[in-house]
Amino acid sequence: MKVALLAHSLVSADEPELHQRARTLAGDRKIVRLLEQETYAPFVVALEAIDALPNFERDRAAILTAGEHEQEVGRLPAELFVDDAPTESIVDFYKGSDPAAFLRDMPNACHCMISIARKLRGPSLHFVGGGEAAAYALIMAVESLADGAASNALVVGYSRPGDSSELSSDAVAVVLAAAPSNGGESLVEIDLPAPVELRERRAVDIMRDVIRAHVGTPPAG
């Protein structure tokens, strides 16, 4: 399906002062307190993409995010991620912690903070993973636009750079809308790779492909 690409934003993990940029964009330091360092970049790209559009319809905006929430990045031990982990174990782990620690450790914490910071009220989903997660996010964005559930869709993908152990991410955000009937230069075809290729690629790379399809050249970052 062809959709309109209204805006996009890219941030690299090594860009300076991401924390300060996040605080400035959020306008409320309590929001940033609920972000881990690895999610500063997706938070920044999302808000920058939204703010680039004066007519962004927040009441009917879908937000779809995809990110690699690796267990070693957060503080939670791996045994607490299994489906049958006892509630008591989780309670014990956070006993005496900063009250915000549990919320910060949730895989969808950044997704929620983006919604809160810009008061988005449309369809909302977060996918954990790499290329496949980003593909699901894009598919849901297109479906939300096609069935009229949303008038525009913010899609964000973020990944840790390469084999880096740094607690930071590269991030890409795009804002999509249904294609206008008269066409236009902003149209982009959402053409996803085969499933086997998706499993080998990062979420941020799939998002870069969307921009590449629109501008014709690979975006930097």
Strands (E), 34-148: 61-67, 124-128
Question: Which range (22-31, 148-157, 160-169, 192-201) has the least confidence?
Answer: 160-169
Distance between CA atoms of residues 7 and 67, nearest Å: 20
Q: Residue 36 phi/psi, 5° resolution?
A: -80, 160
Sorted by sequence, the CB contacts under 8 Å of residue 198 that are 6+ apart come out as 130, 131, 132, 135, 192, 206
Task: Report the candidate in 216, 196, 218 with the shortest Cα–Cα distance to residue 207.
Answer: 218
Q: Specify the pLDDT at position 218.
A: 45
Instruction: State yes or no: pLDDT of 220 exceeds 50.
Output: no
pLDDT of residue 72: 42
